[in-house]
Amino acid sequence: MMKKALVVVAHGSRREASNEEVRALAERLAQLPDNDYDSVTAAFLELAEPLIPDGVVQAIDAGAQEVVVLPYFLSAGRHVASDIPAEVDKAVSRRPDARIRIAPYVGSMDSMTDLMMRTAGTRYCKDNPDCKLGEKAGPFTVCTGECD
């Protein structure tokens, strides 16, 4: 069976905590029970490591025969339209025999409208006076309903 890797691609940030959020998202995706990928990692367009070409090549060098690059972007701006494909082309030139494809960017999915409406109906624990997590909740901890 062909080994597949998913590389979640984000912009990258000078704020390292933001980069860690993307890495943590990749780890959560890897743990999903219906995950069809042998590995799920994060890579960045700029400002953080690994950069997209390096992340794709690392996946191939780790044994992936197919790599799916998932742009973690909400709209088809310049990064989605031209920068990410150009960075993926760099990886293709380094590993021309590998199967590498770019998935649709996250914001293009029809399910985004449902997600956005669900998100609008939630709140941070810090905004919930009845939250049982108290000081354990970080500034961006989302209430799960268990803290009411």
| CB count in 10 Å sphere of residue 145 | 6
DSSP letter for each residue of 79-107: IIIIIHHHHHHHHHHHSTTSEEEEPPPGG
Whether the pLDDT of residue 87 is over 60: the answer is: yes
Are residues 71 and 101 both part of a single domain?
Answer: yes
pLDDT at 37: 98
Question: And the tokens for 127?
Answer: 């905004």
| 148 occurs within a structural domain | no
pTM for the structure as a whole: 0.91
Beta bridge partners of residue 136, listed in sequence order = none
- Per the listing, tokens 């990928």 go with 37
Residues 102-148 have pLDDT tens digits of 999 999 999 999 999 999 988 888 888 888 887 788 888 888 766 64
Distance of alpha carbon 11 from alpha carbon 6, whole angstroms: 16
| 147 occurs within a structural domain | no
Q: Which residue range is the domain that position 91 belongs to? A: 4-109
Let me know: does 42 contact 8? Beta carbons within 8 Å. yes
Distance of alpha carbon 55 from alpha carbon 61, whole angstroms: 10
Are residues 63 and 35 both part of a single domain?
Answer: yes
